[in-house]
Amino acid sequence: MSPNEFSKRRRQLMRMMGEGAIAILPAAPTKIRNRDADYAYRQDSDFLYLTGFSEPESVAVLIPGRAHGEYILFCRDKDPVRETWDGRRAGPAGAVEAHGADDAFPVGDIDEILPGMIEQCARVFYTMGVHPEFDQRLMGWVNSLRAQVGKGRHTPHEFVVLDHVLHDMRLYKSRAEVSAMKRAARIAVTAHTRAMKFCRPGLKEYEVEAEFLHEFRRNGTEPSYLPIVGGGENGCILHYTENRDSLRDGDLLLIDAGCEFDGYASDITRTFPVNGRFTPAQRAIYDLVLDAQKAAIEQIMPGKHCKEAHKAAVKTITRGLVKLGLLKGKVPALIKSEAYKRFFMHGTGHWLGLDVHDVGDYKVGDEWRVLEPGMVMTVEPGIYIPAGSKGVAKKWWGIGVRIEDDILVTKDGHVNLSAGAVKEPDDIEQLMRAA
Ligand code: GLY
Ligand code: MN
Ligand code: MN
């Protein structure tokens, strides 16, 4: 992402904040995995969106109209010893030279500098409750000002919820963001294709997962969430991530895996037979989920609201489950009573972007949000029939199917960013046969 992209975003936010305001964003904290080992560091998405700066222990500050520079970055100071152990640091000078900050200070000096900046502003834009330790520090700075009001110091008049403004911006993807998301989708599509070709009975789920990890890392990306690689019955567990069982001849394999390129996620699910051939029962459920997914994707276009896709999927799935004898009754009544939730218990999609379940309100007031160009949603209906399901014929047991694509809303309708991963059942069988 170019430096200009980040400065455009900061300018846009600062225009909305107006003069007399300050926005404060802390970097994500590091997290210990066990003893001296950390989890891989992932920058906070709001922080990343506005700065592109990926170091921990940083604080970004925006003050529209500040004479000495509107974008201030507090970051770790240069330290040859620490850098020998933990890696390179930009340092305040690097933050200005290489990362577009107008002004930068060592984060160790923040207690001396930031309260004075806050004091100059009437409104503080801040997201409360995400990083509780930083919430405490901010309250500490404001309280220290309050304690000195008698000495002529000032406190801000208003706290404004920063995420409300910022998350609305993040919902509309720019050209650069769309291009990163296309790349994330393309890499994950290749990985799904690899997995289909590689799969055979007797493998462990983690061996198939390894195909994803290899494809992701060789492209400089990482998984955007823990990959779900569930054979047979495990495909009916929505967030199955153990990925430890053997893949059995005659079972389906459900894989929900995507990667993160330049911070942007893909989120793709494919389901296919372990041995390359659908059984008639698997095929019937698969066809139904695919029909539902297509009906839902057709609803993605400007002017439709974001719940139309779910409605279309529910209608198709309920109708199909009745036809297959898995639900009994009249379709409208079964939709009204949500009887379909026994087999299709999740939503049909979510916003996608820097976060897999990306930010942005689904409702504006009491109304579902209307889709507009630049928004990206997943479309991911599924049907899950665990073994032992009461009143369900045995031939359906252990079938779990989800199909998930990443859909960009465009001026004329939509573009499926993950269309390259085959999903027509005949195409899947052919691909697996040819492997
Ligand atoms: N992979 C998480 C989801 O599909 O929402
Ligand atoms: Mn998914
Ligand atoms: Mn998803």
Distance 413 CA to ligand 3 centre (A): 20
Is residue 350 among the annotated active site residues? Answer: yes
Cα–Cα distance, 210 to 198 (Å, whole number): 11
Near ion ligand 2, which residues have CB within 5 Å?
256, 267, 404
Is residue 154 among the annotated active site residues? Answer: no
Query: Pick from 64, 210, 44: which is nearest to 130 by CA?
Result: 44
Domain borders along the chain are: 3-170, 172-434
Residues 225 and 356: beta-carbon distance below 8 Å: yes
Atom index in ligand 1 nearest the CA of residue 357 equals 5
Cα–Cα distance, 386 to 232 (Å, whole number): 9
The one catalytic residue in 146, 164, 218, 357 is 357
Is residue 404 among the annotated active site residues? Answer: yes
Q: Encoding tokens for residue 151?
A: 């000495």
* Domains 3-170 and 172-434 are alike in CATH topology: no
User: DSSP character for 161?
Assistant: E
Region of residue 42 (phi > 0: left; psi between -120 and 50: alpha; otherwise: beta): beta
In this structure, how many other beta carbons lie within 10 angstroms of the beta carbon of residue 78? 15
Distance 237 CA to ligand 3 centre (A): 14
Atom index in ligand 1 nearest the CA of residue 402 equals 4
Q: What is the pLDDT along the chain (435 residues), one digit of tens a residue?
A: 999 999 999 999 999 999 999 999 999 999 999 999 999 999 999 999 999 999 999 999 999 999 999 999 999 999 999 999 999 999 999 999 999 999 999 999 999 999 999 999 999 999 999 999 999 999 999 999 999 999 999 899 899 999 999 999 999 999 999 999 999 999 999 999 999 999 999 999 999 999 999 999 999 999 999 999 999 999 999 999 999 999 999 999 999 999 999 999 999 999 999 999 999 999 999 999 999 999 999 999 999 999 999 999 999 999 999 999 999 999 999 999 999 999 999 999 999 999 999 999 999 999 999 999 999 999 999 999 999 999 999 999 999 999 999 999 999 999 999 999 999 999 999 999 998
- CATH superfamily, region 3-170: Creatinase/prolidase N-terminal domain (3.40.350.10)
Q: Give me the pLDDT at residue 435, please.
A: 83
Region of residue 250 (phi > 0: left; psi between -120 and 50: alpha; otherwise: beta): left
Q: Encoding tokens for residue 189?
A: 């599509």
The one catalytic residue in 15, 33, 35, 36 is 36
Beta strands at 103-106 and 71-75: parallel, antiparallel or unpaired: parallel
Q: Give me the pLDDT at residue 270, please.
A: 98
| Fold of the domain spanning 172-434 | Creatine Amidinohydrolase (3.90.230)
Distance 376 CA to ligand 1 centre (A): 14
Is residue 256 among the annotated active site residues? Answer: yes
**CA neighbours within 13 Å on the CB side: how many for 427?**
10
pTM for the full model?
A: 0.96
Q: Is 225 in the pocket of ligand 1 (CB under 6 A)?
A: yes
Cα–Cα distance, 320 to 182 (Å, whole number): 33
Region of residue 173 (phi > 0: left; psi between -120 and 50: alpha; otherwise: beta): beta
How far apart, in Å, do the first and last CA atoms of the chain sit? 37
Residues 124 and 24: beta-carbon distance below 8 Å: yes
Atom index in ligand 1 nearest the CA of residue 225 equals 1
Q: Is 356 in the pocket of ligand 1 (CB under 6 A)?
A: yes
Distance 48 CA to ligand 3 centre (A): 21
Q: Encoding tokens for residue 298?
A: 């057709």
pLDDT tens-digit map of 285-344: 999 999 999 999 999 999 999 999 999 999 999 999 999 999 999 999 999 999 999 999
